Structure 1
Amino acid sequence: MSSIQLQIENGVARVTLNRPETFNSFNRKMALLLQKTLDECNTNEEVRAIVLTGNGKAFCAGQDLNEVTSPELNPGFRKILEEHYNPIVEKIRTIEKPIVAAVNGVAAGAGANIALACDIVVASETASFIQAFSKIGLIPDSAGTFFLPRLIGFQKASALMMLGDKVSANQAEELGMLYKVFSIETFEEEVTKLVSKLAKMPTKALGLTKRLLNQSMVNTLKEQLAMESDLQIEAAESEDYTEGVNSFIEKRKPIFKGK
């Protein structure tokens, strides 16, 4: 079976990491296939929201250590980072459609940081997050040192990365690492409800919002205000803006087309 599964229905692309026997850890084949799948979701106009999740007990355990310890299979760390994880994170941040990480179980190492790079992170109450790198003498990668301090603050991020503490889903929510935690019983239902709602929203505006949030990481206030002005004008020229205003005036529910 494919290590990445893709299902598209009602405007939602469900992307599932599918190596449950290794807790969905990444090897080269899976990393490259995830990139290809994200590209497909980006170019497919039917897709208006994306959910990334894992099959089985884990979301993603990070790098498959059997690959990096194999003389025959090991691509080397530079290739793993520059050809596997860095492009995945860049695609997640540059695809102008909302991407939800539905963390169904443990998210460790690169798996945790790929989840944190998504626009919205939700988790099952049984999920956990681990910056596992220090446990084997490595440093956090996959943009963990970029996103985690911005989400929870420098001190907390520094401690979690150096100590490698396991963080429960509820603790992660309290820290500001994720949006919401759902019970095991309602997890799939709540995830479906969330991404279905996003798929019916004005995709163009959501994409422009994502672009602004990306740029806010580096912009000055003046630069951000100028960018907001430019993109607001672009948003106001969309079909969805016209529909939104008309539906408000006519006191009816809007039907957005993502254009």
Structure 2
Amino acid sequence: MSQNTRYSGYTNITFDTPAPHVLRLTLNKPDTLNSLDALGHRELAEVWKEIDTDPDVSAVILCGAGRGFSAGGDFDMIQEMMDHHDARARIWREARDLVYNIIDCSKPIVSAIHGPAVGAGLVAALLSDISIAANNAKIVDGHTRLGVAAGDHAAIIWPLLCGMAKAKYYLMLCEPLTGQKAEEIGLISLAVDESEVQDKALEVAKKLAAGAPSAIRWTKYALNNWLRQAGPIFDTSLALEMLGFAGPEVKEGLLSLQERRKPVFSQSSVI
């Protein structure tokens, strides 16, 4: 295993090379379940462009340090989006770039998911080409619980992976899924015991790195045209999510999360 100095400027993500031509990205704020602040959100959005042009990388692993994969955006970033138009505009662009940069990254990406997987971390996990989760991982898209539309990545890929009926059920109700359940409905590629997640992700990444690079990358490119075709659907969902951050429901959603209680949403604001 070796360190990769090309990516030394990142603060929320650490990088190493566990096998030849395999780059491993670790979301590395374990004290906060790898939550993403404003800088971390930007780093996660932009890193894929650099990986795409890195001649030493043939496959990528994405994982999280400590007890979980990622708790998503932190409360400070959410509050900033609620308070400032400029922050919403900035996060809109980064959230858009996160999705499209992963889709357009030519290198195959393997996600290794354990513990909670939420928010922008979940975006990267589910948009990865091969997603491997612990059987007991907790996957949840928490947007409507927060009081905003399910933007991020949900509309572009959940219906394609698990079907419209399941997508609506889990996205509208914010029902959590275990890794085992996510595999059953087709949301992820594979579920294994938690102790096997990292080894399985490395095994898969090594196979990808040893494969025919053009054939694998061109296969990814062609398959991802399904996602590019759904771009207008994603753009709409993301715009509606950002609109929600300027509305009243997210204030109650955030407050209820901070107070660790169920939200009580007013029906008078329904449009």
TM-score band (shorter)?
Answer: 0.7 to 0.9
Matches of 1:46 and 1:189 in 2, distance apart?
Answer: 21
Is the CA contact (8 Å cut-off) linking 2:45 and 2:95 kept in structure 1?
no
RMSD of aligned Cα (Å): 2.2
Alignment check: 8 A CA contact 1:124 1:184 kept: yes
Quote how far apart the aligned CAs of 1:20 are: 1.6
**C-alpha deviation, 1:36, in angstroms:** 4.1
Q: Which residue of 2 aligns with 1:5?
A: 14
Counterpart selection for 1:120 from 115, 130, 151: 130
> Alpha-carbon deviation of 1:62?
1.6
Deviation at 1:18, TM superposition (A): 1.1
- Tell me which residue corresponds to 1:43: 53
Secondary structure of the 2:145 match is helix
CA distance in 2, matches of 1:36, 1:69: 23
Task: Tell me which residue corresponds to 1:236.
Answer: none
How many corresponding residue pairs?
Answer: 218
Structure 1 equivalent of residue 92 of structure 2:
81
Which residue in the other structure is 1:131 paired with? 141
Native 8 Å contact 1:12 1:50 kept in 2: yes
Normalised by the length of structure 1, the TM-score is 0.78
Distance (whole Å) between structure 2 residues aligned to residue 35 and residue 131 of structure 1: 18
Unaligned runs of 5+ in 1: 220-259
User: 219, 224, 236: which one pairs with 1:209?
Assistant: 219
Work out whether 1:109 is the aligned partner of 2:119. Answer: yes
Change (3 A) 1:163 1:42: same
Give the Cα separation in 2 of the matches to 1:203 and 1:105: 32
Counterparts of 1:189 and 1:101, CA distance in 2:
12
Q: Which residue of 2 aligns with 1:63?
A: 73
Task: Name the residue aligned to 1:250.
Answer: none
Residue 24 (1) aligns with residue 27 (2): no
Deviation of residue 196 (structure 1)? 0.8
> Shift in Å at residue 109 of structure 1?
2.8
Q: Which letter maps to 2:87? A: G
Distance 1:218 1:50, change over 3 A: closer
- Contact 1:5 1:17 (8 Å CA) reproduced: yes
SS across alignment from 1:69: helix
Match of 2:232 in 1: none
Amino acid at match of 2:155: T
CA distance in 2, matches of 1:218, 1:130: 24
1:218 shift after superposition: 6.5
Q: What is the Cα deviation at residue 112 of structure 1?
A: 2.1
Alignment-mate amino acid for residue 113 of structure 1? V
Deviations 1:226-252 (A, max 9, x none): xxxxxxxxxxxxxxxxxxxxxxxxxxx
Secondary structure of 2:180's aligned partner: helix
Q: Is the 8 A contact 1:125 1:181 kept in 2?
A: yes
Q: Distance in 2 between matches of 1:217 and 1:35?
A: 17
| Cα deviation code 1:83-131 (max 9, x no counterpart) | x222111111101111111112211133323211111110112212101
8 Å contact kept, 2:183–2:191: yes
Structure 1 residue 27: Cα displacement:
1.6
Report SS of the residue matched to 2:69: strand
Runs of 5+ in structure 2 lacking a partner? 1-9, 230-271
Distance (whole Å) between structure 1 residues aligned to residue 139 and residue 213 of structure 2: 30
2-structure distance, mates of 1:114, 1:52: 8
Give the greater-gyration-radius structure (CA).
Answer: 1
Structure 2 counterpart of 1:175: 185
